[in-house]
Structure 1
């Protein structure tokens, strides 16, 4: 009799554990936003390899979309001309498919994290316009064709416009002029006509930048070249940008006939070093001032940070008809690039999951926002 009672107790415990597990799984970001827009994250190499087991579990349970943080950038995919390395990207895409996720390729054309050979000939001189066009086409065609029908969207061109609305004086621009952007989109469209194609940038709410990006969108559309969205990277802090500025940009991009992608979001709680000067003699004092929360955020800062996230997500929900996806730039605070930028060695807290792989209280509050009328 005692054995039967014990067995029944074990069965009851198993049922309750399963119920609890199901409940926590149901109460996820991806379930909360499933009828609104994709909610995603960037994946680092240890997550793609499966070695960072705890954060991989968070990705599976919480997110409906993924983007590779680094392994699909050109310096990694084609370190030498004509010699491609797809191993990491293949694993990334396979993970997304296995977990039924909306997979994003990042990024096809970017002036940074680009192999040195891309712009120069054997003598180290700038290549001609025709050679650069061919190299762009070869790279884009190889990548997009390989993942045709599997990668659902691409950041085709990344960070080409300055805050004042002028074109960044990259080698792409110097050799090809403004035409490098339409060419990149054209090559991507030819390689996979069904993939969504995006222009992606930071400080994407600056009015002059918005004007130029809208002009690019309209130009592409008038020429029959596909562009589906504008990526707003959303690397933001507690003060900048003003929510009204950000909202205005969403509305203007949508009015141009494309969806908005929030592509690389995190909110830094640390003071911004921009506009401050640091004499070498004051280096220690400066670094301490720029890294004030090594042992965790004070409650008042934590509250301010949390409210900032909630304000942004209220805005996303308000404009959910204009938004395709919201993607966090990393899973846990440990992974975030903001720990080292723009000042090395800082301890930042910009993401939704903490250094112990636990959801911060703001996650549940964001989920609750989706249930409000």
Structure 2
């Protein structure tokens, strides 16, 4: 990580993503507190989640094409400026739930374009052997930001109100855009031609559907979202109803996940020279699936916290290896569409999982949610390993 952070171009990208992540943490906490105050219901808070997911479902196919057609740094800068505007609206106008939902929609719409562009441009500014370290540095900074800033932001919102948090978020996007403005990746010229957007989008879907490894990664992404959407949202219910834990236990469990997630990339780099292999992408699904089964079975808070630390480790290492394998396996010309499609699958699965998970918890109990979640993750691993073996994929070069 130190080696890639010493490179000016990557440092610009890392700074842009990390600073905007700081603003996102403050804004996320302030938005959740504020919408609950205004609506007084969990359904109102869930509405923010829906407002964040819907833009991905609507815009991801278009975003992937735009990222592959236009200079990616310009796409990221434009997305940052759009998000700075939406976040700035809440500085002066945050007393109407409809405005909050609209801004959540706008911020998510900007991220739909920014995230595939950022993931696609990274291999253009670091060498192939540095891709894993670069993804690890980005992931670690994001997790540490959340661990440190989320508790701080909650206290500050209670003391001085939410407006300042939205102002910080708006300013963070401006700083991100300024950092990216000087980034000059080695990108080949774009061949826009006269092809239609829909044809380009279909090409991306066909690429994923026709490549055995990409198809397995897509299926794994969807199954993982169907699992994690419900299990992450219902962790507070598991703590109260199954573990019989005190009110502050939920914070302990979330903190345990954060600790494991922060340690994961560092351990990955120290123990494995190049983890861009299906084993290290689908292996964490096995780990997380087993943890879900453990959580549904045990009633000890310390055991659950320790298990969730391991779950966080599996989540972070899986995310780093997933992105790194995609960046190495997919050509530069289609990378944006592939990442956008993976985002689409993740958010679609998450939305379905939130709805179905709530029904399962109400009818069969919260333990059933975690049993089903564990089975889905284990199924994702089985499909992934089978596809990788059939394709003969043993390393990123294949």
TM exceeds 0.5? no
> Which has more radius of gyration?
1
Question: TM-score range, shorter-chain basis?
Answer: under 0.3
| Higher relative contact order, structure no. (Cα contacts within 8 Å, ≥ 6 residues apart) | 2
Output the TM-score relative to the length of structure 1: 0.22
Q: Which structure carries more helix by proportion?
A: 2
Q: Please give the TM-score of this superposition, normalised by the length of structure 2.
A: 0.21
Which structure shows the bigger proportion of residues in strand conformation? 1
